Structure 1
């Protein structure tokens, strides 16, 4: 049975400037209602994808089409972040889109930039019932504010699974993976699938990075009470040891370079990775390949974990929609957020392979993925047969910390640094980063 899912400084714009730009300081009237009228003038609302993945096809189905049906005057436009298109640069230029799409780990960076609006006045004005949502999402939202602010509207639940390419298993005569595996089990299979054939290097398993393997145990990076780094622990050592056991399988490192990294391209495009531990939002990309006539012969099983967390996978994650403090159309943006959270649109989202953020019912579980070609006949127990682990205490330093812990593993793998030295160095680097951010 499915269980509910478990400094960057801006010099040119101060918080006061952000609040005053583009109508940013204006609050909605205290009167209104669910069907209160909003502007009927033609409006384009831009959505910025920050750290939460969304395929073009999904944006069309979840945003463009249902919003145009409900509000014919509103056009939705997707903007993707990149090396040259960052939240910081968009704020500085005054071009930050109206709506920001983020996952649980992407909220605090937006808060540090003072980029997002408190939704409570809009919830009150338009009578939004937040009790409709899965408690995991509403409780998760509370953790982002000690002032009772509501920083976002949930829009889709994420999950983690182990995707595998059946063609590669068939090619090498290896039995398919099963639900309930540990990382030890997965490593044994990965060794059988890592080989070079006709000049093509095949790899058995991309676990998703040391940081994400740590998500399986809900490991913190920073003690939230003391703001001290906590990377030099027995649990992080255990996680790194297992990740390195996988990375050191002969064939993963060639000419001093680790082939694979954390990206999904080797699985989706090159199709030389047999297994990958990934977030469920990758299903959107799998469906897009299917509709483009280039399907992958794939299935999924429960994401492997450590025996200490049997029955759990990575800590829970959900995707949410924020209103930008720079938006000139905040009322309209909120009405769009509310509509995407409606039963009507959540049903579309759920049938399209993204789990609804509304309270779960047997009907929602039964209808999950019903509109997708690529998910027909797939092992849905990989999603519903396990529970996500609890969220670790999130801090503003986690993004940096995740890079540091992954770099520590790379130093062991490619530079022959010993494990204890790597963890001690990681601890020191994170401590220095925290101290620098507090100056």
Structure 2
């Protein structure tokens, strides 16, 4: 009799095991599909405070709360996010040497090398595997771009959003001169300049400028260009691509009336939004949408719209990857990774898209909701944001930030000194090579 009872208990236990194993697994898979988060929920966990440092990117306190603080609190109530906000003049080097070490760094791809040089960046491979994060959820162009920053193909960051370039245009200036708006199908830099020439004129004592191209780095995002040749380690400006970029810029400077009497040749967002004398401006989405919304709230709304950014032969454009990195010095890397995966969840990415960010996750259907929660974007041609295909970032170099000044020097020579493109580019490349030699010698 006792043996029969024991056998019955064993049988019931075995029957219960699959049931006990299925439900949590299904829940984990469902959660990973929508959030990419790990299987550790925040219940009954020891409270942890993580520090969050923003460098080089715009992230308002409202965005920080909506994209990070509240979603993390909902999924991981034991995690508290605290933002580090040093004085604007504080460099990352100064911050880290002061003993203040953030757990999470929010920055763009242009700053990766700065943090890797500090030894402050964690390769995310181990954490990705440990927390079963599905990299296939991320747009391939973004992960490929991030890996290009490491000679070993490491993934030093995960992308939160992709800050694409776009063409903004003032409809009132077009209407004033009876000129058709930029085409929704997109156009080349050559066609954009043709349109800009028609709109660069004086009227009733006001000087109007047809188009500002955004400078050499903005134009260069249309091509696979690098500042340094990865094969030779020397400057790469004396190439067909960079020559094309500076030739395009020279054509804009040569438009009669483009360069002002005060030698001004670069027109910023104030020229577009406040002075309202710039008809078209090529810039990033994050650079203009917020300020345009602020204008609307102040009752000074501009009559504007969006068109695809200009390109050369192929309708593609590069962008800036707003990224999340984990400090190698962090004592809470698992929790920091959970914050990142929460920010990459369908829910948070949808919130970001509706507030003017381009999603990093590979869900094209989100494009239809772009800017839906921003009043200033109501009625705008949102589809034009996605008409031009994003391209992989050009091969970067750890010295890009050190030699970027030579792009400005070449531009000044062409615009202000009348230097021909070939001479300006040659002089800039010579300067780059001298700087590179000095930098490498002193390391």
Shift of 1:122: 2.6
Matches within 5 A, 1:7-22: none
Distance 1:356 1:375 in 2: 17
SS at match of 1:378: coil
Structure 2 unpaired stretches of 5+: 1-36
SS at match of 2:133: coil
**1:245 corresponding residue in structure 2:** 251
**2:398 corresponding residue in structure 1:** 396
Distance 2:329 2:373 in 1: 36
Query: In the alignment, which of 111, 119, 124 is matched to residue 124 of structure 2?
Result: 119
Does the Cα contact within 8 Å between 1:59 and 1:78 map onto a contact in 2? no
Query: In the alignment, which of 348, 351, 355 is matched to residue 348 of structure 1?
Result: 351
> Which one has a larger percent helix, Structure 1 or Structure 2?
2
**1:433 corresponding residue in structure 2:** 435
1:339 and 2:345 aligned:
no
Decide whether aligned partners of structure 1 residues 350 and 149 sit closer, same or farther in structure 2, where only a CA change above 3 A counts: same
**1:286 corresponding residue in structure 2:** 292
Matches within 5 A, 1:86-105: 86-105=91-110
Does the Cα contact within 8 Å between 2:237 and 2:425 map onto a contact in 1? yes
Decide whether aligned partners of structure 1 residues 85 and 302 sit closer, same or farther in structure 2, where only a CA change above 3 A counts: same
**1:108 corresponding residue in structure 2:** 113
**1:171 corresponding residue in structure 2:** 176
Distance 2:210 2:61 in 1: 29
Does the Cα contact within 8 Å between 2:72 and 2:339 map onto a contact in 1? yes
**2:369 corresponding residue in structure 1:** 367
Decide whether aligned partners of structure 1 residues 399 and 338 sit closer, same or farther in structure 2, where only a CA change above 3 A counts: same
SS at match of 2:93: helix
Matches within 5 A, 1:106-255: 106-147=111-152, 149-178=154-183, 179-197=185-203, 200-255=206-261
**1:311 corresponding residue in structure 2:** 315
Distance 1:129 1:277 in 2: 35
Does the Cα contact within 8 Å between 1:62 and 1:348 map onto a contact in 2? yes
Distance 2:440 2:145 in 1: 25
Does the Cα contact within 8 Å between 2:208 and 2:278 map onto a contact in 1? yes
SS at match of 1:102: strand
**1:409 corresponding residue in structure 2:** 411
Decide whether aligned partners of structure 1 residues 190 and 422 sit closer, same or farther in structure 2, where only a CA change above 3 A counts: same
**1:63 corresponding residue in structure 2:** 68
Larger Rg over CA atoms: 2
Distance 1:329 1:295 in 2: 45
**1:22 corresponding residue in structure 2:** none
Please list the CA deviations of residues 74-133 of structure 1 after superposition, one character each: whole Å capped at 9, or x if unmatched: 244263784x12212212222343322222222122212222222233323333222221
Query: Please, what is the CA RMSD of the aligned residues?
Result: 2.7
**1:300 corresponding residue in structure 2:** 306
Decide whether aligned partners of structure 1 residues 62 and 214 sit closer, same or farther in structure 2, where only a CA change above 3 A counts: same
Please list the CA deviations of residues 291-341 of structure 1 after superposition, one character each: whole Å capped at 9, or x if unmatched: 4544332211111122xx2322x2244221112234454333222111101
> Structure 1-normalised TM-score?
0.82
Please list the CA deviations of residues 228-262 of structure 1 after superposition, one character each: whole Å capped at 9, or x if unmatched: 2111123322221211121233333334522435x
SS at match of 2:376: coil
> Structure 2-normalised TM-score?
0.81
Does the Cα contact within 8 Å between 2:50 and 2:336 map onto a contact in 1? no
Distance 1:291 1:64 in 2: 26
Distance 1:246 1:320 in 2: 33
Which of the pair has the greater relative contact order for Cα pairs under 8 Å at 6+ separation? 1
Regions of 4+ moved over 6 Å: none
Distance 1:217 1:145 in 2: 21
Please list the CA deviations of residues 325-378 of structure 1 after superposition, one character each: whole Å capped at 9, or x if unmatched: 3445433322211110111111111222212111224x2232222222222222
Distance 2:248 2:203 in 1: 26
Distance 1:219 1:112 in 2: 23
Decide whether aligned partners of structure 1 residues 183 and 391 sit closer, same or farther in structure 2, where only a CA change above 3 A counts: same
Does the Cα contact within 8 Å between 2:53 and 2:106 map onto a contact in 1? yes
Shift of 1:435: 1.4
SS at match of 2:429: helix
Does the Cα contact within 8 Å between 1:34 and 1:128 map onto a contact in 2? no
**1:324 corresponding residue in structure 2:** 327
Shift of 1:146: 3.6
Which stretch shifts more, 385-394 or 70-79? Answer: 70-79
Decide whether aligned partners of structure 1 residues 329 and 287 sit closer, same or farther in structure 2, where only a CA change above 3 A counts: farther
